[in-house]
Structure 1
């Protein structure tokens, strides 16, 4: 007999590659036989965005008073000086300036909802995109054999029964962060509800069986023990015309992959299907050439990032208290620009944390003057904050997860105060 917990743990509802209109008949019948009253107990929600390709943190949030950086980037350096400057940096604190294409972030920073952590990265000095992303998503930067992702472990530490939609990635396949024994699903588009189970062997094994076979094996316990929550969630997703969703409060999402992902995360939050950990990603940050300054590749990327996040935050309205959003990127870029107007793989970068319980309006972290003697390997912004110190603090303060031995088993560091106590 398959228990409720084991059934859910083995892959949500084993929804594999089906559309909203194609929910298995046994689920639809079970859902239809129950009243869709209140669904899940309100829980906090953490949203993570992975910027794949390694964002240049020194261009996103520039220490504009640093003469060493100015000399190292004659074609890329930007200033906060306004006189004779059509696109100045947005002065945050007299030392750091926000890229002008991220102007939608400025009010959130001034309202103390947005915090920036600079000089953040991995203690592992690899400059391989694949390895660095893998280490960051597993949360074990010196152990390549870790089977689970840190977000999957976080979900397992939440301490209460899971909705099938507790951990959702708005991506075409399950990210490394969600690999593991706890149920997690990837939905490339709510309209299609195509779900991939890659990286979750238990879920894949269950999905390999026909739904009828699965139902035959579990019906005696499923209908008695699973409770109405799972069925109500499926019923809600089945009957909701997500294509007609209208964002609240005048929010306008970019028509980009990230904008669409965050809009759908907002929908899931409002549908109250038990979402607690959400994941999205943004690509195109590997700016080896023609990086640009106020315009160009980098400016387009940060416009999309900040506009998508700001639209999401605006759309949430009264639900903002329940949500904290955090960005991450595998590493930063070189301090010195290269010969093709770009930057190469470096070490530290910066990240953004947004929420009403964030210690915002500050640039956290330790960024020394960018003279050669202060650079890592004589070329890179040094990693002075381990990414786990921020990930752990956000998960601890917002989701009330305090078991770092499980969440980040090889880490024994300290948090930095990016969340309010």
Structure 2
């Protein structure tokens, strides 16, 4: 007979929903009535990670606009911070050297308020330009070891120092469990908190066993394994059942874009406010592979960064009362080439940038060490060089915010130094 913990260690619990619209229904709602909350579900700190899949062009998101070599390398994609007279909207001047894309305007007040930090030149020491491999290495946290069975966020769950009092301790708002959450510690993947279906990932009694609800699964199964492993999750859902938040209204008139990322972050905000024990959350933003017609102040890239910044800003506005407890960090597998290609886009490169938002962040700065983009400073003669290992940033954010320090577990092959992105 396999124990409940052993079962959960086999890979995590994935709760798969239909679509991405709507909020938490009565089915998963009860935990809070006013300020009444069971003590085991009271929360500590919460880290929210957003993976930008497809490789964001960090040089367009946050441009070193005084770099003449970059201007020469991107004759139709380069954007200036100069006001008036240009063919595109000006960049948002951050410090006289770096400018944010104008579609990231929602981030400007957060940067000026020193709640938002940017790290430039961040990436993996592994120089692969394969999306699949680079994402795998970043999510496993072991960029030279493909055989790592666990993800770095799953290891972070293990470092929290306590067993989950709730199945919502580590939640991914995605259709399946991401590589970051693979491993021995229980985690949950939910594509939508409305219209639940359930699937036990790695179920030795039969993979992909599905039912319309927790009740269906619990009532219909004859498996003693599922009975024993599902009871705690079932009890948690029953605990959440009485409060109907189907018609959830964000606080402070926060305006979430009607996008996959917007709906995922809205649901993460709801879980935070419900105090169901969330400590690590994950979601993703897709469509960053801009080989063709990348655009400047309009086009696919402009739409993507607008969605990213508007969604994160809406989330931050919505969780106003919880901001001291929450840090948000973005990541992307690699950047794009310094030179634009012949189809108005950029190809797979090396370093990019990321954004970190929180009240414990050393914000209002562009961190990292970026040299002028002259040919002799480019990696392989074509790319922005990786000058900050992603593990230096991820470990610092996790250690400082979640209050643990064991980088040998979190990133077993890393022996570098942190860069001071957290205050």
Q: Tell me, yes or no, whether TM beats 0.5.
A: yes
Q: 1:334 aligns with which of 334, 337, 340?
A: 337
**Residue 18 to residue 328, structure 1, CA distance change in 2 (3 Å):** closer
Contact kept in structure 2, 1:102 and 1:306, CA below 8 Å: yes
Question: Superposition pairs for residues 85-104 of structure 1, below 5 Å?
Answer: 85=86, 87-104=89-106
- Paired position in structure 1 for 2:159: 157
Equivalence map 1:20-59=2 (5 Å): 37-59=38-60
Which position in structure 1 is the counterpart of 2:33? Answer: none
Show the counterpart of 2:279: 276
- When the two structures are aligned, how many residues end up with a matched partner? 404
User: Which of these residues, 134, 137, 142, is aligned with residue 135 of structure 1?
Assistant: 137
Within a 5 Å distance, the mapping from 1:7-406 to structure 2 comes to 37-85=38-86, 87-162=89-164, 163-198=166-201, 211=218, 216=224, 233-406=236-409
State the Cα distance separating 1:318 from its structure 2 match: 1.1
The 2-side partners of 1:185 and 1:168 are apart by 5
Question: How far apart in 1 are the matches of 2:75 and 2:359?
Answer: 38
User: Any gaps of 5 or more consecutive residues in structure 1?
Assistant: 29-34
Secondary structure of 2:270 counterpart = helix
CA RMSD of aligned residues (A): 2.9
- Displacement after TM superposition at 1:161 (Å): 2.1
* TM-score normalised by length of structure 2: 0.88
Partner of 1:32: none
Deviation at 1:298, TM superposition (A): 0.2
1:407 corresponds, among 404, 407, 410, to 410
Rounded Cα–Cα distance in structure 1 between residues aligned with 2:225 and 2:347? 54
Secondary structure (helix, strand or coil) at the match of 2:353 reads strand
- CA deviations on 1:106-157 (whole Å, 9 max, x unpaired) are 0000010000000000000000000000000000000001111110110011
Deviation at 1:256, TM superposition (A): 0.2
Can you list the C-alpha shifts for 1:228-279, whole angstroms capped at 9, x where unaligned?
Answer: xx56631244334343110001100000000000000000101111111101
CA distance in 2, matches of 1:203, 1:183: 18
| TM-fit CA distance, 1:39 | 4.9
**Contact preservation (8 Å) 2:378, 2:385:** yes
Q: 1:58 to 1:45 in 2, by over 3 A?
A: same
Change (3 A) 1:7 1:53: closer
- Distance, in Å, in 2 between the alignment partners of 1:22 and 1:82 is 51
CA gap 1:157/1:214 in 2 versus in 1, 3 angstroms: farther
d(CA) in 2 for partners of 1:275, 1:61: 31
Structure 2 gap segments, 5+ residues each: 19-23, 31-35, 212-216
| 2:15–2:189 Cα contact (<8 Å) kept | no
Shift in alpha-carbon separation, 1:392–1:207, aligned structure 2, 3 A: farther
Shift of 1:403: 1.0
Task: State the SS of the aligned residue for 1:324.
Answer: strand
- For residues 337-388 of structure 1, the C-alpha deviation after alignment (integer angstroms, 9 at most, x for no partner) is 0000000000000000000000000000011000000000000000000000
Which stretch has the larger CA shift, 3-12 or 115-124? 3-12
Q: What secondary structure, in the 3-state scheme, does the structure 2 residue paired with 1:134 have?
A: helix
Shift of 1:399: 0.6
- In structure 2, do the counterparts of structure 1 residues 202 and 393 end up closer, same or farther at CA, with 3 Å as the change threshold? farther
Cα distance between partner residues in 2 of 1:231 and 1:172: 20
CA distance in 1, matches of 2:199, 2:131: 23
How has the CA–CA distance of structure 1 residues 351 and 168 changed in structure 2, closer, same or farther, with 3 Å as cutoff? same
